[in-house]
Structure 1
Amino acid sequence: MASPQEEVRPWPALWALVVGFFMILVDSTIVSVATPSILADFGTDVGSVIWVTSAYLLAYAVPLLVTGRLGDRIGPKKMYLTGLTVFTLASLWCGLTNSIAMLIVARVVQGLGASMVTPQTMAVITRIFPPDQRGKAMSLWGATAGVAVLVGPILGGVLVDGLGWQWIFFVNVPVGVIGFVLAMRLVPDLPTQKHKFDLLGVALSTVGLFLLVFGIQEGQKHNWDQTVWLMIIAGVVIIGLFVLWQARNRNEPLLPLALFRDRNFSLANVAITTVGFAVTAMAIPLMLYAQVVRGLSPTKAALLLAPMAIISGALAPFVGRLVDTTPPRYIAGFGLACNVVAMTWLSQIISPDLPIWQLLLPMALMGVANGFMWAPIGSTATRNLPMHQAGAGAGVYNTTRQVGAVLGSAGIAALMEARLAHYLPGMSGSVGGEGAASGGKLPEVAQQGFSDAMAQSLLLPASVLVIGLIAALCFAKPVRRQPPAAAAASGDREGLRG
C-alpha cells in the first residue's frame, strides 16, 4: 500500500497517468492519416484498411463498463499498469506485422489495453483530489483529451511522411515504458473493496454494446441492409435487458443506476456523447476536402488542426481555475456554443478555391471551444460520485464518449455518401478515399460538387452539438463542500452560538 506521503501528492500522480492517457487517445486518430500508405504497402482493399481503425475503436469502446468496474475491485493502479503493458506490447506487434489481417488482430489487442487504462485516469482524479481542486485536475485531463484527439493526425502525417506508417505504432513503445515507470513510482495504491462480480451484467453489456457498435460501424459498408438493422436492434434490446437486470440486481450491479439520480452526471454523459460524436465526425470531411480537393499532403492537411490543439492547450490552466469557481454550465455552454458556430462557419466557406488562411479562423474558434468543453463536462460528471463508485462512473462516462465517436463516424459517412450521390451522380462513393490513396486531386469538374458535399456534411456534428449545449445549460450549480478544517470551525461557531 502507498504511504501517507504518496497519498497526499495527487499532482505528480496525475501527470504520470496523463502520459499513458495521451498516448492512447492519440492512437484513436493517428491511423486515419496513414490509411493510404497502409493500403499501398499491403496491396489490399479500402474496406480492409478501414478495419485497422474500426477494430481498435470496437475493442476500446465495448469493454469500458467492465474495465471501469474492475478498477474498483482490484485497484485503479494495477488495472492501469496492466492495460498500459498490453497496449505497449500490442503497439510493437502492430509495427512488426506483415499482413493486414494480423495488423487488425493486433489493433484489437491494443484497443483492449486502452479500455483498461482510460477509466482509471478519471477514477484516480475523483479519489485523490478534494472536490474543490478537481476542476484544475480535470482541466489537465480535459486538455489532454482535447489536444490528443487533434494531435493524432498531425503526428501521424509527420511520421508517415518521414519514417513510414510502422512508426505511428513504434513511437508508442518508449512512451509506454516511460509511462509505466512514472505510474509505478508516483500513483498511489488506493484501497479496494470486495465486490461480487456481476457476470450476467458483463455478458449483457458486452454483447449489447458489441452488436450496436458493430452494426453502426458496418452499416455503410453493407448499405444498411436487413442484417445490419437486425444487429443494431438486437444490440438495443440486449442493452435494455442489461439496464433492466441492473435495476433488479440487489447485490453488486455492474452499473449502479443510482449514479443517474445525480442530475449533473446524467447531463454530463449526454454532453460528452455529443462531443465525441462531433470531434470524430468533423475531421473526416475536412481531411478529405484538404487532400482530395486541395491536394495537400497528409502532414499539411493535418496541420489545419494545429490552431485547435495549440489554443486548447494554452487555455487549459485558465479554464481549470474557472471550473473551481464558476458554475460549469456557463463554461461548458460557452465552449459548446463556440463549437456549433465554428462548424457552421466552416460549412459555409468551404470551396475549391478558398484561401487556406480562411480555414484557420474557424479552426481557431474550435480551439477555444475545446479549451472550454472538456474540463467542465468531466468535472461535472465526477464531482458528486461516491468514492467507491468512481471506477463505475468513469467507465460509464468514457463509454458514452466512445460510443458517441462511433456514432459520429458512422453518421458522417452515411451523410457524405448521400451528399456525394446528390452532387456527383454516377461517381463512386469511395472517390474521396481513392483520390487520397493515389496522392492526386479530383478532376476540376468534380471539385465543386465534392466540396459542397463535405461542407454540408459538417452541419451534422454542428446539429448534434446543439443537444450537448442544451444539456450543459441545464447543469445544476454544484454544491461547494467545505474543507474539513473549515467545516469543523463552522461547527464550533454554531456550538458557541447555541
Structure 2
Amino acid sequence: MEAIPARNPRRWLILVVLCLSTLVLVVDSMVLTVAVPTIAEDLGASAQDLQWILESYMLVFAGLLLTAGSLSDRFGRRKMMIIGLALFGAASVIAMLATSPEQLVVGRSLMGVGGALVMPSTLSILITVFDEAERPKAIAVWSAVAMVGLVGGPVLGGALLAQFWWGVVFLINIPIAILAIVAAMVLMPESKGPWRKADPVGMVLSVIGMAALVWTINELPKGGLGHQSTRISLAVTVVSLIAFGVLEVRSKSPMVPLALFRDKVFTGASFSLVLLTLANGGLMLVLTQYLQFVLGYTPTETGLAFTPLAVATLLFNAVGASLVAKTGSRVMAVLGLLVIASGFALLANMTTDSGWTVLAGAMVLMGTGAGLTMPAAMGAMMGAIPDEHAGVGSALNDTIQQAGAALGVAILGAVLSSTFTGHMPADAPNAARHSVGDAVAVATRTGDGGLLAATHRAFTDAMSASFLVGAAGVVGAAILAAFLMKGKEAPAVGTGSETGTAGPLATDAALPVH
C-alpha cells in the first residue's frame, strides 16, 4: 500500500507569510482612500489626476493577474511572490517620494505589477501546501486577515495622517514587504507546474482585455455609452476577450485552462462568488457615503464603524471552516449566502433615523454569512484546480473577483445615483441633484435645512434600492451554489507532501474558482 505523504510541518508558518503578503496589498489599497484629499492638496492634483492615481493600480493589477498566475506556474510560485513583493516595496518608495501626480501614478502602476505577481502566488501556494482537510481552515485565516486589512486600513490611515505626511501610507508597505520576503526565503518551499509552452499571444490578449474591461466598467457610470472613449474601450474589451477565449480553447497548451469550467463545483463556486463580490463591491461605496454624509462621521470614524463586520467575519470564519467537513461545502455556502442576503435586506429597510445600531446589526449578519460562505466556497473552488494549474487557477479566481467587485461598484453606484436624482425635490438646485456630496455641500453653504433633510431622505431611499439589488445578487448566488456545488467534499483526512504538493489535488481533480 502506498504511503500517505506527510503534511508540510511548516505549513502554518508558511500561512503567516502568505497572510503578510496579502495584508500589505489590502492595507495599501484601503489606506490610500483616506489620503486622497491630502495628496490632492499637497501635489496640486486635479480630479483627473486623482482618478489616475486611484485607477492606475487597479488597471495594471487586473490586466496582469492571469499572466502573473501563468508565470508563477511556469517559473515557480515562491519566486514570483518574492519578485512581486520586492517590486511592490520598491514602487512604494517611488510613490512615497513623489513630488508630482505623474510620479505618483508611475509608482502606483509599478505597485500594480508587484501586486499582480503576489496575489495569485499566495492562494496557489496555500492550496498546494494545505491538503483538502485543512484547506478551509487555512482559507478562513487568509480571508480573515484580508478583512482586517480592509477595515483596519482606513483607521490606520487616519491615525497616521493625523501625525505624519501623506507619504507614510506608502512607507508602511516597505517593512511588511521585507519581512514577508525574508520569511518566504527561509520557510517556504518552491512549487511549480510542469513545463509548458509559452502563450505570448494569450498573455497580450488577456492583459488588454482585462485592463479594458475594468476601465470600461469604471467609466460607464460617468457618462454611459455616450462617450466615444467608453465605446472604444468596450469594443476593445469584447474583441480581446473573445479572441482570448477562442485562442485558449483551441490551444494545446493554453495559458488559462478554460476546461476548468466543465467542473460544476468549480463553476458553481466561482459564479456564486462573482455575484457575492458584485453585491459587496458596492457595499463599502454606499455605506461610506451614508456614514459620512447622512450620519456625519469622519473618515476615521467611518473605518471604525465597520468593526462589527470585521469581528463577525473573523469569528464565523473559524466556525465555517470547522463545519465544512461535517455539513459539506454546498450547505455551508448556501446557508452563509442566505444570511448575507438577510443583512442586505435589513440595510434596505434603513431610514434616516435608523442610525448606527441597525447598521451594526446588518453588518454582523453580513460578517456572519461571509464567515460561513468563504471557506466553503473558496475551498471547493480551489480544490477543483489541478496542481499544475494552481497559479493561473488562483489568478482566474482573483480576476473574476476583481471584475465582479468593479461591476458591483458600477451597478450599485448607477442605481444609487439614478435613484437619488429621482427622489430629490424638483425645485432643488441642479448642482445638488446628482451627488449626495454636492447636495450636502450646497445645503451647508446656503444654510438650507430643508434641502439637507431632503438630501438625506433621497440618499436613504437610493441606498435602499441599491441594497435590494445587492440582496437579489446574493440570493442568485445561493441558488447557483445549491444547484451546481454538488460533488466531492473535503475528506476527513488529507495528504500533502513535504514539497507542498497535495496528492489528490493533482490526481483527482484533473480537469473538469470566486
* TM-score normalised by the chain length of structure 1: 0.89
- The gaps in structure 1 that reach 5 residues or longer are 486-498
Q: Please tell me whether residue 454 in structure 1 is matched to residue 463 in structure 2.
A: yes
Verify the 8 A CA contact 2:65 2:117 in the aligned structure 1.
yes
2:431 to 427, 430, 441: 427
Task: Please list the CA deviations of residues 308-367 of structure 1 after superposition, one character each: whole Å capped at 9, or x if unmatched.
Answer: 11121122222222223331111111221111111221121141x333222211111111
Would the alpha carbon gap of residues 27 and 336 (structure 1) be closer, same or farther in structure 2, given more than 3 Å must change? farther
Mapped contact 1:142–1:378 kept (Cα < 8 A): no
Question: Where does residue 155 of structure 1 map in the other structure?
Answer: 156
CA distance in 2, matches of 1:483, 1:363: 35
Question: How much has 1:396 moved relative to structure 2?
Answer: 0.7
Please give the alpha-carbon distance, in whole angstroms, between the structure 2 residues aligned to 1:34 and 1:438.
24
Contact 2:193–2:389 (CA<8 Å) still a contact in 1? no
1:67 & 1:323 partners in 2: Cα distance?
31
Distance 1:323 1:384 in 2: 16
Deviates more, 1:99-108 or 1:65-74: 99-108
Matched residue type, 2:104: L
In the alignment, structure 1 residue 415 sits paired with structure 2 residue 415:
yes
Q: Residue 466 in 1 paired to residue 475 in 2?
A: yes
Over 3 Å counting, the alpha-carbon distance change for 1:260 and 1:37 in structure 2 is same
Give distance in 1, aligned partners of 2:24 and 2:82. 14
What's the offset of the Cα at 1:381? 0.8
Provide the residue aligned with 2:263 in structure 1.
Answer: 262
Aligned CA-pair RMSD: 2.6
Aligned to 2:133: 132
Partner residue, 1:235? 237
Q: Partner amino acid for 1:36? A: P
Is the deviation greater in 57-66 or in 135-144?
A: 135-144
Letter in 2 for 1:236: V
Mapped to 2, the partners of 1:299 and 1:395 lie a distance apart of 32
For 2:251 and 2:59, how far apart are their aligned partners in 1? 27
Q: Relative to structure 1, is the Cα distance of residues 132 and 35 closer, same or farther in structure 2, using a 3 angstrom cutoff?
A: same
Q: Is the 8 A contact 2:208 2:240 kept in 1?
A: yes
* 1:389 counterpart letter in structure 2: H
For residue 280 of structure 1, what is the aligned residue in structure 2? 281
1:389 matches 2:398: no
**Cα contact 1:72–1:392 (8 A) shared by 2:** yes
Instruction: Quote the Cα distance in structure 2 between the aligned partners of 1:133 and 1:122.
Output: 14
1:437, 1:46 → 2: CA distance? 17
2:99 matched residue in structure 1: 98
Q: How does 1:68-217 map to 2 (within 5 A)?
A: 68-217=69-218
Matches of 1:37 and 1:435 in 2, distance apart? 22
Looking at structure 1, the residues matched to 417 and 487 of structure 2 have their Cα atoms a distance apart, in angstroms, of: 42
Moved more, 268-277 or 471-480: 471-480
C-alpha change, 1:433 and 1:100, in structure 2 (3 Å) is: farther
| Residues 219/396 of structure 1: CA separation in 2 closer, same or farther (3 Å cut) | same
d(CA) in 2 for partners of 1:156 and 1:470? Answer: 39
- Counterpart position of 1:364: 364
Query: In the TM superposition, what whole-angstrom CA distance separates every residue of 1:452-497 from its partner, at most 9, and x where no partner exists?
Result: 2233222232222222222222311424556579xxxxxxxxxxxx
Q: Is the 8 A contact 2:431 2:442 kept in 1?
A: no
1:20 and 1:179 in contact (8 A); partners too: yes
Could you tell me which amino acid in structure 2 is paired with residue 451 of structure 1?
T
Call closer, same or farther: CA 1:229–1:115 in 2, change over 3 Å: same
- The letter for the 1-side match of 2:396 is V
TM-score normalised according to structure 2 size: 0.87
1:165-206 deviations in whole A, cap 9, x for unaligned? 332222111111111111111111225532211011111111
- The counterpart of 1:476, out of the listed 478, 483, 486, is 486
Q: Which amino acid aligns with 2:243?
A: L
- The answer to whether the Cα contact below 8 Å between 1:138 and 1:378 also exists between their aligned partners in 2 is yes
Q: Judge which range, 52-61 or 15-24, deviates more.
A: 52-61
> 1: CA distance between counterparts of 2:469 and 2:397?
23
**CA drift at 1:24:** 0.8
Q: Which residue of 2 aligns with 1:324?
A: 325
Report the residue type matching 1:455 in the other structure.
S
The alpha-carbon deviation at position 27 of structure 1 amounts to 2.7
Aligned-partner SS, 1:254: coil
Kept in 2: contact 1:309–1:367 (CA 8 A):
yes
CA distance in 2, matches of 1:347, 1:26: 29
CA distance 1:313–1:76, change in 2 (3 Å) = same
* Preserved CA contact (<8 Å) 2:417 2:435: no
Paired with 1:34 and 1:87, the residues of 2 have a C-alpha distance of 19
Aligned partner of 2:130: which letter? F
| Corresponding position of 2:375 | 375
Amino acid of the structure 1 residue aligned with 2:431: M
Residue 255 (structure 2) pairs with residue 246 (structure 1):
no
Query: Paired residues, what number?
Result: 480
Structure 2 unaligned runs (5+)? 446-450, 497-514
The aligned residue for residue 488 of structure 1 is none
Q: Is the 8 A contact 2:325 2:490 kept in 1?
A: no
Against the structure 1 CA distance between its residues 56 and 484, is the aligned structure 2 distance closer, same or farther, given a 3 Å change threshold? Answer: closer
User: Residue by residue, what CA displacement relative to the aligned partner does 1:219-274 show, whole Å, maximum 9, x if unpaired?
Assistant: 23344325213422331232112111111112x21111221221111122112222
**Partners of 2:46 and 2:290 in 1: how far apart?**
21
**Taking structure 1 as reference, are residues 336 and 160 closer, same or farther at Cα in structure 2, changes over 3 Å only?**
farther
Aligned 8 A contact 1:7 1:188 in 2: no
